Amino acid sequence: MNRFDIVIVGGGIAGASLGAELAARASVLILEKEAAAGYHATGRSVAFWEETYGGPQVQPLTTASGPMLLSPDPDFSGRSFLSPRRTLHVGRAQDAAARGRLLTDYAGKVVLEPVDPRTVVPGLRPDWTLGVLEPAVKDIDVGSLHQAWLRRFRRRGGEMRLSTALRSARPQGDGWRLETSGGPIDCGVIANAAGAWADDVARACGVAPLGIAPLRRTVLQLRVPALPSADLPLVMDMGGRFYFKPEGEGRVWLTPHDEAPSPPCDAAPDEMAVAQAIMRFQEAVDWPVEAVERKWAGLRSFAPDRAPVYGFDPVMPGFFWFAGQGGFGIQTSPAAALLARALLMGEAMPQAIASLDPAAYCPSRFR
């Protein structure tokens, strides 16, 4: 079949979750240009769910997604995608204002407990005197979540074509004619879930871009035999210069929180960012680094106001944006996909996301 109600461009967590939500209501095709879905941002995440991550506009999406990610899932052998982690936000004297913002921005929304950080993370250097514990933070099993979305999508009748790139599209009748690397396809609606390529996909469809900017983030896996326990919390600098989390015994994942502008591409780690990460890690804890075992990078894509973009383009009919998921696309995926389904199908907002304000994420805020 080469005619679908909806074609979703991109098979990462965004396209997979949206596809799973839509496939029972419409005929849906996911186009993915790579041989494996999840090759780009989705496969490169640090895999945590943290309500204060991404800022106050993102928090309602993350909070609403929590119960859906936590409940036992039939597409994951009846298990939950989340497991306990906690975050310790740490700061030095100069971070007092950032600590104040953290506590006021999320007051009454997220449980945050001021603590002496050195009682939570042994080995923290003495100048790290400020601490705020966020106990609800969890690790996410990203690979299993992505696969569960794709399984649900297929079970509900969705079709996915790998190694098939959208090249261009033009309006035709009350829908679209797409030109792809696998030949022409007709559809009613194009949903743009192309991550770092979201603006490129818009241009290819004759739609004005929104200014969605890919920013590179570098991650290192370090061997640190002195790590006191694999159950330590994720440690996040209030000043935004690094975070790290244990990854099994004697290992941590570390990032210098870099945000280098990049064209959409197969991102590679930056050596300067690697060196910066190790320096910042050693400024924070006294655990010797034995080796850099792995390093990788991925692109986090942000709209100009850093909130995600969900909704129909206000100028081009039949073009739906599901982009700008920044550094929070995994942890927000259940709520975001439900919201997008309601907007795309013209349905009432489901109960699980009744607290969300769709206007905060609509593309017309940029037009």
Binding footprint of ligand FAD on the chain (CB under 6 A):
9-15, 31-34, 39-42, 44-48, 165-166, 193-197, 201, 217, 219, 298, 300, 325-331
From the CB of 115, what's the least distance to ligand FAD, in Å?
22
CA distance 203 to 186: 18
**Which residue's CB is nearer to ligand FAD, number 117 or number 164?**
164
For residue 31, the cross-strand partners are 9, 161
Q: What gap in Å lies between CA 142 and CA 148, rounded to an integer?
A: 10
Please state, as a whole number, how many other Cβ atoms lie within 10 Å of the Cβ of residue 351.
8
Euclidean distance between CA atoms 193 and 131, whole angstroms: 37
With respect to ligand FAD, which residue has the nearer C-beta, 125 or 203?
203
For ligand FAD, the closer of residues 10 and 91 by Cβ is 10
Task: Compute the least distance from the CB of residue 129 to ligand FAD, in Å.
Answer: 27
Helices (H), the chain: 13-22, 59-70, 96-105, 117-120, 142-155, 198-204, 271-284, 333-345
Write down the least CB distance from residue 236 to ligand FAD, Å. 11
In the complex, minimum distance from the CB of residue 97 to ligand FAD, in angstroms, rounded to a whole number = 25
Beta strands per DSSP E along the chain: 3-9, 28-31, 48-49, 82-84, 87-91, 113-115, 130-134, 138-140, 159-161, 166-172, 175-180, 183-192, 213-223, 234-237, 243-246, 251-255, 260-261, 291-302, 309-312, 319-323
Residue number, 53 or 128, with CB nearest to ligand FAD: 53
CB of 91 within 8 A of CB of 238?
A: yes
What is the C-alpha to C-alpha distance for residues 49 and 79, in angstroms, rounded to an integer?
16
Nearer to ligand FAD, 100 or 153 (CB): 153
**Which residue, 106 or 302, is less far from ligand FAD as judged by CB?**
302
| Residue 290 phi, psi dihedral angles, 5° rounding | -90, -35
Smallest distance from the beta carbon of 329 to ligand FAD, in angstroms?
Answer: 2
Beta-carbon contacts of 39 under 8 Å, excluding residues fewer than 6 positions away, are: none
- Smallest separation (angstroms) from ligand FAD to the CB of 265: 11
For residues 315 and 171, the answer to whether their CB atoms sit within 8 Å is no
Q: Pick the closer one to ligand FAD by CB: 187 or 193.
A: 193
* Smallest gap from residue 36 Cβ to ligand FAD (A): 8
- In the complex, the smallest distance separating the C-beta of residue 293 from ligand FAD, rounded to whole angstroms, is 16
Q: Is 297 helix (H, G, I), strand (E, B) or coil?
A: strand
Amino acid at 128: W
- Residue 110 has which token pair? 């997220």
Whichever of 123 and 159 has its CB closer to ligand FAD, that residue is 159
CB of 114 to ligand FAD, least distance (A): 24
For residues 124 and 220, which CB has a smaller minimum distance to ligand FAD in the complex?
220
